[in-house]
């Protein structure tokens, strides 16, 4: 039983390190601290707790205080032991490395003016240092639920994980969000306390003070994922055409975790009649919804203008060479007349641009057409995707083909009317 528990916690520690390397690293810092107490031992304990609180917050300081108290109890109040290197090592062990070591700079016993011990220490404490990526908007995608009225749960179950993975991948590639593995974090939450259990020396306890949560959660409901076949017979030739139709219908929401408010929501519906499979639909849906979320929260900005070439503050796989965008100029800030809430800015369409090159973090677009001289624009500019034109359905294509055939037949009959 003990070995099994140990193995699970070791795996948990490894998973924490693996999943957090992108966001943070461990470092040790030395800070000065002061403490007071009815005894010299209590004064040192108070100073140690104050030092940990400076670096990692009150929660870790409280846990550390308990560990230090245990060390003092084990010494049976022997003052000479408290000054030895053995005792410092004992403190480091009991606090699981949160306190690496400390030095006493000064100490003063009780005086007529103050009946307490006073000490000044230099304490070396483990600190979990957040990277710049952790300053990004933190977001997690939770598994989507299935509507009670969904007809084909098997196809939905096949669609959902691929769709979520594509969405997470797209948002990660934008470099605008710190995407968190919510499924992994959910499993870890139940076992985080095991890391603090005895027999596990880990400085990861310091991570708890700066543990990454999430600012926003993306959730949603899959209403339908279906695939059907349909055979159409052409009236003019009698030829039969069979098409496979794959359809997807879902809704999604972005929740502000702190307030519980919905910050953004949308629906997605797609029907493809070229025999596309469910996996293809999942990737298409993940990319499209990722694009919608990005453009709602962080529209692609124009960061510099050089003649007809514009440098955009977005690159990577989320921007495709050859794709055209609407060029938008920001106007006045606008507010809801009832709630007085800011609604953003007026968006004035001033042209069309086309992507001509893509780099890892930026891309370059050329102006295809514009209504004003861009050199005179003194407000922020962004680009937004041009809505794709809907493709003709198979039935519409057959009808168009029949009309073309009938037109050709009429033309043939007129040309040969005399011969008939």
Q: How far apart are CA 270 and CA 246, in angstroms?
A: 8
pLDDT at position 290 is 93
Q: Say yes or no to pLDDT of 227 above 60.
A: yes
CA torsion through residues 410, 411, 414, 416, sign:
negative
Side-chain half-sphere of 231: how many Cα atoms within 13 Å?
4
> Among 7-11, 70-74, 233-237, 269-273, where is mean pLDDT lowest?
7-11
Comparing CA positions, the residue from 263, 266, 240 lying closest to residue 252 is 266
- Beta strand ranges found along 185-299 (DSSP E): 216-233, 240-256, 262-272
Q: Say yes or no to pLDDT of 252 above 70.
A: yes
Read off the pLDDT of residues 271-324 as tens digits, 9 standing for 90 and up: 887 667 888 899 999 999 999 998 888 899 999 999 999 999 999 888 999 999
DSSP code of residue 299 = P
Q: Are strands 145-146 and 216-233 parallel, antiparallel or unpaired?
A: parallel
172-186 average pLDDT score: 72
H-type alpha helices, 174-263: 182-189, 192-195
Q: How far apart are CA 141 and CA 216, in angstroms?
A: 9
Judge contact between 206 and 98, C-beta under 8 A: yes
Q: Say yes or no to pLDDT of 251 above 90.
A: yes
Q: How far apart are CA 319 and CA 113, in angstroms?
A: 71
Q: How far apart are CA 372 and CA 375, in angstroms?
A: 9
pLDDT at position 353 is 96
216-242 average pLDDT score: 78
pLDDT at position 369 is 93
22-36 average pLDDT score: 78
Q: How far apart are CA 182 and CA 255, in angstroms?
A: 14
72-91 average pLDDT score: 53
Residue 28 CB: number of other CB atoms within 10 A?
A: 14
Average pLDDT over the chain reads 75
Read off the pLDDT of residues 103-134 as tens digits, 9 standing for 90 and up: 899 999 998 888 899 999 999 888 766 666 66
pLDDT at position 89 is 62
What are the φ/ψ torsions at residue 96 (nearest 5 degrees)? 55, 35
> Among 19-23, 25-29, 257-261, where is mean pLDDT lowest?
19-23
Q: Say yes or no to pLDDT of 236 above 80.
A: no
* Torsion angle, alpha carbons of 308, 314, 318, 324, to 10: -20
């Amino acid at each position: 039983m003990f070995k099994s528990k140990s193995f699970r916690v070791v795996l948990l520690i490894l998973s924490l390190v693996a999943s957090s390397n992108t966001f943070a690293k461990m470092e040790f810092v030395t800070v000065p601290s002061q403490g007071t107490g009815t005894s010299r031992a209590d004064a040192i304990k108070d100073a140690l707790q104050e030092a940990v609180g400076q670096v990692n917050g009150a929660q870790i300081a409280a846990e550390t205080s308990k560990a230090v108290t245990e060390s003092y109890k084990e010494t049976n109040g022997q003052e000479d032991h408290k000054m030895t290197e053995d005792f410092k090592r004992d403190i480091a062990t009991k606090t699981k490395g949160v306190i690496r070591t400390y030095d006493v700079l000064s100490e003063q016993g009780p005086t007529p003016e103050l009946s307490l011990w006073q000490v000044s220490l230099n304490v070396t404490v483990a600190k979990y240092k957040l990277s710049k990526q952790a300053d990004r908007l933190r977001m997690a995608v939770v598994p989507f639920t299935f509507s009670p009225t969904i007809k084909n749960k098997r196809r939905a179950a096949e669609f959902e994980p691929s769709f979520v993975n594509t969405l997470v991948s797209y948002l990660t590639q934008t470099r605008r969000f710190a995407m968190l593995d919510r499924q992994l974090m959910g499993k870890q939450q139940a076992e985080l306390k095991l890391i603090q259990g005895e027999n596990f020396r880990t400085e990861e306890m310091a991570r708890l003070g700066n543990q990454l949560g999430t600012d926003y959660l993306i959730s949603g409901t899959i209403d339908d994922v279906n695939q059907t076949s349909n055979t159409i017979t052409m009236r003019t030739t009698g030829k039969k055409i069979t098409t496979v139709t794959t359809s997807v219908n879902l809704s999604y929401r972005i929740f502000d975790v702190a307030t519980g408010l919905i910050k953004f929501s949308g629906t997605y519906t797609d029907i493809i009649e070229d025999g596309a499979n469910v996996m293809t639909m999942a990737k298409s849906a993940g990319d499209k919804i990722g694009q919608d979320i990005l453009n709602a929260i962080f529209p692609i900005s124009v960061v510099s203008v050089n003649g007809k070439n514009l440098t955009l503050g977005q690159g990577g796989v989320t921007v495709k060479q050859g794709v055209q965008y609407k060029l938008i100029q920001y106007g006045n800030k606008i507010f809801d007349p009832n709630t007085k809430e800011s609604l953003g800015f007026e968006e004035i369409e001033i042209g069309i641009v086309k992507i001509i090159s893509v780099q890892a973090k930026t891309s370059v677009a050329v102006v295809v057409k514009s209504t004003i001289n861009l050199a005179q624009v003194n407000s922020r500019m962004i680009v937004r995707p041009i809505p794709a034109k809907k493709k003709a359905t198979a039935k519409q294509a057959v009808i168009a083909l029949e009309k073309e055939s009938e037109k050709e037949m009429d033309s043939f009959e007129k040309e040969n009317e005399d011969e008939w």
